[in-house]
Amino acid sequence: MKRIYFDNAATTPIDPAVIEVMREAMQKNYGNPSSIHAEGRIARAAIEDARKRVARLLGASIGEIFFTSCGTESNNMVLKGAVRDLGVERIITSRIEHHAVLHTVEKLAGVTIDYVELEPDGGANLTHLEALLRNDDRKTLVSLMHANNEVGALNDLEAIGNICEEHGALFHSDTVQTIGYYPIDLSKLKVHFISGSAHKFYGPKGVGFVYINGDHILHPFIDGGAQERNMRGGTENIYGILGLAKALELVSENREANRTKITELRDYLRSQLLENFEDLVFNGDPDRGHYKLLSVAFPPSPRTEMLLLNLDIAGVSVSGGSACSSGADAGSHVIEGLNGDPDRKTIRFSFSHYNTREEVDFVVEQLRALLPVKEGVEN
Known catalytic residues are: 324
CB 163 within 8 A of CB 129: yes
Nearer to ligand PLP, 140 or 322 (CB): 322
Nearer to ligand PLP, 44 or 348 (CB): 348
- Beta strands, E only, 230-334: 281-282, 293-298, 316-317
CB 197 within 8 A of CB 46: no
Write b or e for each residue in 296-306: b if 16 or more Cβ atoms lie within 10 A of its Cβ, otherwise e.
bbbbeeeebee
> Could you give the CA distance from residue 203 to residue 251 in angstroms, rounded to a whole number?
10
The least CB distance from residue 18 to ligand PLP, in Å, is: 16
Side chain identity at residue 146, one-letter code: H
Name the DSSP class of 63. Answer: G
Applying CB under 6 A, the residues found at the interface with ligand PLP are 70-72, 98, 100, 145, 149, 174, 176-177, 197, 208, 322-323
Nearer to ligand PLP, 7 or 64 (CB): 7
Name the DSSP class of 120. Answer: T
The least CB distance from residue 101 to ligand PLP, in Å, is: 7
Side chain identity at residue 167, one-letter code: H
List 66's β-bridge partners, or say none. 210
The least CB distance from residue 228 to ligand PLP, in Å, is: 17
Max CA distance (Å), the chain = 74
| Local structure of 142: helix, strand or coil | strand
CB atoms within 10 A of CB 290: 24
The least CB distance from residue 327 to ligand PLP, in Å, is: 14
The least CB distance from residue 324 to ligand PLP, in Å, is: 8
Nearer to ligand PLP, 91 or 314 (CB): 91
End-to-end CA distance of the chain: 24
Nearer to ligand PLP, 174 or 249 (CB): 174
Backbone angles phi, psi at 295, to 5 degrees: -110, 115
Please give the radius of gyration of the chain, using alpha carbons only, rounded to the nearest integer: 21
The least CB distance from residue 102 to ligand PLP, in Å, is: 10
Nearer to ligand PLP, 100 or 118 (CB): 100
CB 117 within 8 A of CB 250: no
Closest chain position to ligand PLP (CB): 71
